[in-house]
Amino acid sequence: MKKLLVLLGLCAIAITLSAYLPSGRHLLTKVELGERLFFDSLLSRNNTVSCATCHKPEFAFADTLALTPGVYGRKAKRNTPSAMNLALQATYFWDGRAKTLEQQALMPIENPDEMDTPVDTVVARLNESAFYREAFMAVFNERATKESLAKALAAYQRTLETNQSVFDEWRMWGDDEIVNAAVKRGFVIFNTKGKCVQCHFGADFNNPDFRNIGLFDGKSLNDSGRGAITKKINDIGRFKIGPLRNIAITAPYMHNGMFKTLKEVINFYNDPSSVVPGSINRDSLLLKPLGLSEQERSDLEEMLRSLTDKRFVKGGH
Looking at domain 2-157, its CATH architecture is Orthogonal Bundle (1.10)
**DSSP code string of the chain:** -HHHHHHHHHHHHHHHT-EE-TT-S-EE-HHHHHHHHHT-GGGSTTS---HHHHSBGGGTTB-SSSS-B-GGGPBPSS-----SS-TT-SSBSTT--BSSHHHHHHHHHH-TTTT---HHHHHHHHHHSHHHHHHHHHHHSS---HHHHHHHHHHHHTT-----BHHHHHHTS--TTSS-HHHHHHHHHHHTTT-GGGTSBTTTTB-S-EE--S---SSSS---BTHHHH--GGGTTBEE----TTGGGS-SBSTT--B-SHHHHHHHHH-HHHHSTT-SS--GGGSS-----HHHHHHHHHHHHTTSBGGGSTT--
Looking at domain 166-312, its CATH architecture is Orthogonal Bundle (1.10)
Q: pLDDT class for 28, splitting at 50, 70, 90? A: confident
Q: pLDDT class for 13, splitting at 50, 70, 90? A: very low
Q: pLDDT class for 3, splitting at 50, 70, 90? A: low
The per-residue pLDDT for range 55-98, each reduced to its tens digit, is 999 999 999 999 999 999 999 999 999 999 999 999 999 999 99
Domain with CATH 1.10.760.10 in the chain: 2-157, 166-312
In this prediction, residue 21 carries a pLDDT of 53
Which pTM does this prediction carry?
Answer: 0.90
Residues assigned a catalytic role: 114
